[in-house]
Amino acid sequence: MKERDKFENSNTFEGIVSFRAVLSSILENKSDRKILKVYYDIEKSKKKPKEYSFLKAKSFEQGYTLGLVEKNVIDELTLGNSHGGLAFVCSDKSYPLLDLTAIQENGFYVMLDGIEDPYNFGYSLRSLYASGISGVILPQRNWLSAAGVVCRASAGASEQIDIFITLDDSFVNIFKNKGYKIVCADLDNSISMYDADLKKPLLLIVGGEKRGISSAVLQQADSIVRIEYGKDFPAALSAASASTVLGFEVYRQNR
């Protein structure tokens, strides 16, 4: 098994789903990322001529080089063997700092802090995107450097979702100044998410498995919510699971 550390600072992506997500983000001017080099399995090019023709056509439009290689070359570039015969290298993507002008009038944003694994981070973005969020707020330290892994785990959502960076806890005041309700996911002094008012405009804050949410942020919350369990269970859900459950409860309340 390959060392994950190799991919924690990597812009090597894999799979046609990731490719289409990156390309769509570029074409919609959501991203300044560029596709630099595409590697395609030479055997796949014979079995999937339409897919290969698509990649070739886009190479002329986007200016990337397209190389036909043996499968083992792509295996070396990627994690596992679920790449579908496609790997590609991209440039970095810029993420804007959060400010008042970036926030929608009646949106639903989620602040994620402290997820300990790039796969879980990607899974969380996938679920949140599906739940209909307006955007994600992240601290400087996050898993966006592992762009390829996160894109794969999120089924491309990481390239489609609006992501903003915050340098400190001032993001809470920015949202308050926009008229947003601030809701934190925590246990102490909490109410059930089913009893909470999760109507938009809403900022939901989900802390990581180890650090949780800072006391300074908790003190500024309009409410603190917890996820009710169907059984007596002493452990907490992962941040990725918690954000998924809460994201869809917000969706339910705003249908």
Examine the pLDDT at 76 and tell me if it is beyond 50: yes
Instruction: Give yes or no: residues 130 and 58 share one domain.
Output: no
Question: Rounded to an integer, what distance in angstroms lies between the CA atom of residue 226 and that of residue 96?
Answer: 31
The pLDDT tens digits for 5-37 are: 556 668 999 999 999 999 999 999 999 999 999
Residue 141 belongs to some domain of the structure: yes
Domain count, the chain: 2
- Establish if 67 belongs to a structural domain: yes
Give the list of residues 6+ apart from residue 42 with CB closer than 8 angstroms, or none: 68, 69, 70
What pLDDT was estimated at residue 117? Answer: 85
Residue-level pLDDT at 10: 83
How far apart CA 64 and CA 55 sit, in angstroms, is 10
Query: What pLDDT shows up at residue 8?
Result: 64
Instruction: Give yes or no: residues 243 and 148 share one domain.
Output: yes
- Per-residue pLDDT band for 1 (boundaries 50, 70, 90) equals very low
Same domain, 153 and 237: yes
Report the SS3 class of residue 185: strand
Residues 67 and 130 in one domain: no
For residues 177 and 128, give the distance between their C-alpha atoms in angstroms, rounded to a whole number.
Answer: 24
45 and 105 together in one domain: no
Q: Are residues 245 and 122 in the same domain?
A: yes
Do 207 and 164 share a structural domain? yes
What is residue 208's predicted lDDT score, i.e. its pLDDT?
A: 75
Show which of 69, 90, 111 is a domain's final residue: 90
- Is the pLDDT confidence value at 195 over 50? yes
Q: What is the pTM of this model?
A: 0.91
Angstrom distance (rounded) from CA 66 to CA 70: 13
pLDDT digits (tens, 9 = 90+) for 104-127: 999 999 999 878 888 889 999 999
Half-sphere exposure of 208 (CA within 13 A, CB side): 15
Report the SS3 class of residue 146. Answer: coil
Q: Examine residue 95 and state whether it is found in any structural domain, yes or no.
A: no
Residue 134 and residue 70 share a domain:
no
In this structure, are 43 and 138 located in the same domain? no
Domain with 22 in it: 4-90
pLDDT-above-70 percentage for the chain: 95
Domain co-membership, 41 together with 110: no
| pLDDT tens string 50-67 | 999 999 999 999 999 999
What CATH number does the domain containing 124 carry?
Answer: 3.40.1280.10
Which CATH number is 70's domain given? Answer: 3.30.1330
Task: Kindly give the pairing relationship between strand 223-226 and strand 181-185.
Answer: parallel
Q: How many residues does the chain have?
A: 255
Let me know whether 111 and 218 are in one domain. Answer: yes
pLDDT at 4: 56
Judge if 39 and 70 occupy the same domain: yes
- The pLDDT assigned to 114 comes to 79
Share of the chain above pLDDT 90, in %: 76
